[in-house]
Structure 1
Amino acid sequence: MLDTYGRKYINPLIDFLARKLIQKNIKPDHITIAALITGLSCFFFILAGQNLIAFFLLWLSGLLDTLDGAAARQIGKPTAWGTFLDITFDRLVEAGIILALAVKNPSSLLVLLVLTITILLSMTIFLTVGALARQKGIKSFYYQAGLMERTEGFILFSLMLLFPSHLTLITCIFAALIGITILQRAAEARKILP
């Protein structure tokens, strides 16, 4: 929801930063790879008990994840391959964080598994509708808005990192909010798909 309705407020900053990266001859795919490496490094910091560092790296990864698409659009070369990398790498970062939290907190394993399943279902609907819908958006596919988008996910992952003693509760809330998003996206799919 924040991505859909709040992006217009931060677009000037994102576009400015993307221009600076382009001027330094940094390619959008390189930014995408940097986002992946930064995001995956959270795994190791969580395992080391350095959740605050993981928190900052998560948000840096998110910033880079936003800059890659902005840079591609500015140079007029958004590609299907870039979209594929972006979506795939996002899931790898999420999986890394969930896996590290599960290793560090085995008592929360079940709720982390439920969270993983809800993310999987939500992304399946999101990507299927994106591929089947006739109308396309700025991201080269139909973008289904929902209660839980990337920024909301980062906020909940942040709460999980910053308040590990409440991991089970936060994870349950996270999974429930994604469950609502699944229902939203499924209802929209029924309306727009033939």
Structure 2
Amino acid sequence: MLDTHGRKYVNPLINSVAGFLLNIGFTPNSVTLIAFALGITSSIFIYFDLPLVAICTLWISGFLDAVDGAMARKKGITTAMGTLMDITFDRMVEMGIVLALAIKFPKDILHLLILTMCILISMTLFLTVAALTEKKGMKSFYYQAGFAERTEGFIMFSLMIISPNNLEFITDIFSLAVIITAFQRFLEAKRILK
């Protein structure tokens, strides 16, 4: 929801950084790899009890994840491989955070497993609809907006990281938001995939 409705407010910053990185020789794929490395590093910081550093690296990773796409569009070089890397690395970063939290807080592992299942269901719907529809948007595939998009996910992950005493509750709220999104995407798919 925030990605869909708030992107216009951060686009000037994203485009400015994209232009700067292109000017100094970075490619969209190199920025994708840097964003991925930072996102995975976030999981390591969780494990070593550095929650604020973990949150900062997570958000920088997410910002660069938006910048790489803006770079590709500026250069007119959006590729299927870039899209594949982007989507795959996003999920790996998310699962890295869930895994790090599960290792640190094993008493909450069932709740984290349920969250993982909810993300899997929602992403399956998202990717299947993207593959089956001919609609295109700003991205190289059909992007189904939803109640819980990447920014909401980062907010929830940040709360999970910073407040481990409330991890079970926050994780359950996150799972509910993701399932609402999955249901919303299913209803939209039913409407557009006739």
Number of corresponding residues: 194
Query: Structure 1-normalised TM-score?
Result: 0.99
In angstroms, what is the RMSD of aligned CA positions?
0.6
1:102 and 2:102 are equivalent in the alignment:
yes
Equivalent residue for 1:116?
116
Q: Counterpart of 2:34? A: 34
**In 2, Cα distance between equivalents of 1:158 and 1:176:** 17
Shift of 1:69: 0.2
Matched, 1:10 2:20: no
**TM-score, length-normalised on structure 2?**
0.99
| C-alpha distance in structure 2 between counterparts of 1:177 and 1:167, whole Å | 15
1:133: which partner in 2?
A: 133
**Within-5 A mapping of 1:32-111:** 32-111=32-111
What is the one-letter code of the residue matched to 1:162? Answer: I
Shift of 1:159: 0.4
Counterpart of 2:23? 23
SS at match of 1:143: coil
**In the aligned structure 1, how far is the partner of 2:47 from the partner of 2:15?**
34
Partner-residue secondary structure (3-state), 1:138: coil
Alpha-carbon distance between aligned partners in 2 of 1:41 and 1:14, rounded to the nearest angstrom: 22
Write the deviation string for residues 10-61 of structure 1: whole angstroms up to 9, x where unpaired.
1111100100000001000000000000000012111111111101000010
Give the letter aligned to residue 190 of structure 2.
R
Instruction: Measure the CA separation in 2 of the matches of 1:11 and 1:71.
Output: 12
Runs of 5+ unmatched residues, structure 1: none
Shift of 1:162: 1.0
Q: 1:118-159, CA deviations, whole angstroms, 9 ceiling, x for partnerless residues?
A: 000000000000010121111111110000000000000000
SS in 2 for 1:137: coil
- Where structure 2 has 5 or more consecutive residues not aligned to the other structure, the ranges are none
Q: What is the rounded CA distance, in whole Å, between the counterparts of 1:66 and 1:162 in structure 2? A: 24
Q: Residues 45-88 of structure 1: CA distance to partner in whole angstroms, max 9, x if unpaired?
A: 11111111101000010011010000000011011110000000
Instruction: Say which is worse superposed, 96-105 or 46-55, in terms of deviation.
Output: 46-55
Q: Which residue of 2 aligns with 1:161?
A: 161
Per-residue deviation, 1:164:
1.0
